[in-house]
Amino acid sequence: MLSGVFFDLDETLIDADGCHREASRRAFAAFGMDWDEALSRTGPFFGRRMREILEARRNALGVDELAAPVEELLVLRAEHYVNLFPAGVCLLPGAPEALASVRDHGGVAAIVSSSARATIALTVEHYGLSRLVSFVVGGDDVSRGKPDPECYETAYLRLQSLRSAVKRDCLVLEDSSVGVTAARSAEIPVCLIPRYPLAEPVHPEYTLASLEEFPGLVARLSGR
């Protein structure tokens, strides 16, 4: 039986890539920086915390902390994301059903993301997912982001505060190589549903083509 499932958020449950890019583009522009140029110099950072992404891309443009403080970039970018969210983010097909399948089989569903807690809360509230999600762990709840396992270790401890659980009876759902690495380092089984080419090869226990296949995996792992 599955005791708990830890869902990544961006590009796992929601399509938010375009919204994230535009929010970052506008925040960079406020400091006279070109986000697209920074992107071309650094490549993708799927699964990383936003602080790390903004800092790396700012530095790639040769701009220092004094000229563009990362805290100010984070605040400005978050404001743009909130404004863009209603039209720029959507649930991926099968997302509510995937979350509900965990509850229906007696498990606990949680969201564990590199995004800030406020960003996760925006999604949960906007789409009415609070009845399906027992708790969240955001990037600002940990000191080290993915691929470090801290986020999933934190989620596991929180699950244990709700019910008796062992790691082999939990599951992580991820879309990125850094997320899979974090889960495996935490010694929690992981299912990969990739939406974009992976940054590096990984070896999850399960791989699915789409989120719509996930309830079937939950049923199989729950022995039903």
Q: Are residues 106 and 67 in the same domain?
A: no
Q: What is the pLDDT of residue 48?
A: 84
Predicted confidence band of residue 45 (pLDDT cuts 50, 70, 90): confident
Q: How far apart are CA 69 and CA 72, in angstroms?
A: 5
Listed residue (145, 191, 177) closest to 5, CA to CA = 191
Q: Which single residue is written with the structure tokens 């140029």?
A: 37
Q: Are residues 71 and 173 in the same domain?
A: no
Q: Give residue-wise pLDDT tens across range 65-108.
A: 999 999 999 999 999 999 999 999 999 999 999 999 999 999 99
Residue numbers of the domain that contains 193: 4-15+90-221
Q: Give residue-wise pLDDT tens across range 192-206.
A: 999 888 888 999 999
Q: What is the pLDDT of residue 186?
A: 98
Go through the chain and tell me how many residues it has: 224
Q: Are residues 65 and 115 in the same domain?
A: no
CA distances from 194 to 1, 8, 122, 153, 219 (A): 25, 12, 24, 22, 21
The whole-model pTM stands at 0.92
Last residue within a domain, chosen from 65, 88, 111 = 88
Instruction: Give SS3 for 96.
Output: helix
Structurally, the chain folds into a number of domains equal to 2
Q: Are residues 35 and 82 in the same domain?
A: yes
Q: Are residues 94 and 69 in the same domain?
A: no
Predicted confidence band of residue 46 (pLDDT cuts 50, 70, 90): confident
Q: What is the pLDDT of residue 211?
A: 97
